[in-house]
Structure 1
Amino acid sequence: MRETGWMMRLLGPAEIRILANKLDIRPTKKLGQNFVIDGGTVRRIVRVADLSPDDVVIEVGPGLGSLTLALLPSASHVVAVEIDPVLSAQLPITAADHGVADNLTVINADAMKIGLSDLLGHVPTALVANLPYNVAVPVVLHLLEELPSLRKGLVMVQSEVADRLAAGPGSKVYGVPSVKAAWYADVRRAGPVGRTVFWPVPNVDSGLVSLVRRDPPSTTASREEVFKVVDAAFAQRRKTLRAALASWAGSAAQAETALRAAGVDPSARGEQLDIHAFARIAESHP
């Protein structure tokens, strides 16, 4: 019988450093490696993720396994995707040492290049991860697109990125990531994370972001068509939508026609619209 996530021994600062020395691992900025060394933080992540015993979790960038060890007793299976071959080889050993390796699959791959066919028959229902800061947004959007089985997620990202992902129309940080994430899911901030829970200590704070899958806001315009409108609107975000969407629509006059048909003021700007409005614009363009 597996230990519960609350009872089992997790990796602390000493164990993390011992493992890193054993593997001659020097955390790199290139891979965005900041390892979690606080057991309380990983327990909190698992608790907020609200996993059920039937969930199959995909974890991106498990590193030395701090979060993985807390996830394994709480889910049916964990698929850990790790780009570093040394770390991916060590993770099953670490899990076995803690008695929780039976429901772990480790895949040595770039998360930006994986699809469902790469997950060895596992169909993930939840994304839970401490994401590398430098690829957090593209990884989240890629996985939500490639893995429609994902129904929910909880990711730890740089605080600034968390703000952008969860921002709503009118916010100063509302932009392309906010709108595109909203195509797939209801996104919200789920709490702050301090710097001292990581090794090495980053020079920025982190935050938790919760994602709950929802139906796409359009059934007639494709994701690609809607995202083209979003990209055009924010490429020139200081311009009115009539001007910003001129190239997309063929002319400013055609852009205005599509905007009015969608019930959107042509003098508005992209940062004022939610994903539903962008979908209506895409639907209105012949």
Structure 2
Amino acid sequence: MLGPADVRRLAGELGIRPTKKLGQNFVHDPNTVRRIVAAAGVGAEDVVLEVGPGLGSLTLGLLEPAQHVVAVEVDPELAERLPRTAAERAPDAADRLTVLTADALRLRAADFPRQPTALVANLPYNVAVPVVLHLLAELPQLRHGLVMVQSEVAERLAAGPGGRVYGVPSVKAAWFADVRRAGAVPRNVFWPVPNVDSGLVSFTRIPPPSSSAPRAEVFRVVDLAFAQRRKTLRAALSGWAGSGAAAEELLRCAGVQPGARGEQLEIADFARLAECAQERSA
């Protein structure tokens, strides 16, 4: 594990001067790493995908229980240093680490020498939601995981219908998985200390709510429903359906009141809407 002095030494060696502006915040508390690994439920059968390993604090914690760790790092210097850090700090497990120099948002299943079964990562705040949704869509063998994100993002991902923060991320994540809050992370475990709070989000893969409606079409309906939150679904979906009357017909087909709003619907409701639209056009 890496402590505060280790993190600063490695950063100095690589010439890294992390700034809040760039969102560079490295975990330097071994107890926090142990907590994350334990909460993620990583086992000996898991191939763990870690996005943004940075200097390797979490990587070292994951190597102990996992069958293999695939770390995806966009920074070439950090990616090049990580295998050496593993060899120095965890020599018995270093051969169970694969490092890919890549942008997580561009990854495809074919890029992985081993298909990941778990995602455990400290995600950059500005890309957390797109990364999680992309990886869940692209990697069907990803069964479970735990990510550390900005506290507000954690709330949105795990929110249920009717809540103030329930929105597009909440609904789309629910297509893939059961998503739950898994605790808070104090600011002082990072270097430098961020100016936002962090939280943990866990997920467990579940079957999609529809086997017939294409995910892309369901997500299109979700985007339209939340584009103008104050609009009723009859109004928000009128362009998609062809008219207000057609939207009302589809909503009633799906068992949804035309006067409802997007934040009142679960992912299964949006899936039924897409199914009704398919049936109408068949």
Fold shared per TM-score above 0.5? yes
Which residue does 1:54 correspond to in 2? 45
Deviation of residue 28 (structure 1)? Answer: 4.6
Query: SS of the counterpart of 2:2?
Result: coil
Unaligned 5+ runs, structure 1: 1-9
- For 1:21, the equivalent position in structure 2 comes to 12
**2:111 alignment partner AA:** D
User: How far off is 1:30 after superposition?
Assistant: 6.6
Give the equivalent residue in structure 2 for 1:122: 114
Residue type at the aligned position of 1:239: K
Q: Which amino acid aligns with 2:266?
A: D
- Partners of 2:109 and 2:273 in 1: CA distance: 31
RMSD (Å) for aligned C-alpha atoms: 0.9
The question of 1:140 aligning with 2:132 is answered yes
The CA distance in 2 between the partners of 1:249 and 1:34, in whole Å, is 45
Letter in 1 for 2:116: P
The letter of the residue matching 1:166 is A
1:162 partnered with 2:150: no
Identity of matched residues, %:
71
1:241 maps onto 2:236 in alignment: no
**CA deviation map 1:36-94 (0-9, x unaligned):** 01000000000000111010000000000000000001100000000000100000000
Give the drift of 1:27: 2.0
Q: CA deviation at 1:237?
A: 1.0
* Contact 1:20 1:26 survives alignment (8 Å): yes
Q: Which residue in 2 is equivalent to 1:72?
A: 63
Determine whether 1:276 maps to 2:257.
no
Distance in 2, Cα, partners of 1:15 & 1:80: 20
Amino acid corresponding to residue 229 of structure 2 in structure 1: R
For the 8 Å contact 1:31–1:132, the answer to whether it is kept is no
Query: How far, CA to CA, are the matches of 1:23 and 1:228 in structure 2?
Result: 44
Q: Partners of 2:215 and 2:21 in 1: how far apart?
A: 31
TM-score, scaled relative to structure 2: 0.96
- Corresponding residue for 1:208? 200
**TM superposition shift of 1:96:** 0.2
**Contact 2:171–2:267 (CA under 8 A) maintained in structure 1:** yes
Q: Which residue identity is paired with 1:236?
A: Q
The Cα shift of 1:33 comes to: 2.0
Equivalent AA in structure 2 for residue 155 of structure 1: V
Task: Return the offset for 1:26.
Answer: 1.9
SS at structure 2 position matched to 1:102: helix
Match of 1:110 in 2: 103
Q: Extract unaligned runs of 5+ from structure 2.
A: none
Q: Which TM-score applies when normalising by structure 1?
A: 0.95
Q: Which amino acid aligns with 1:140?
A: V
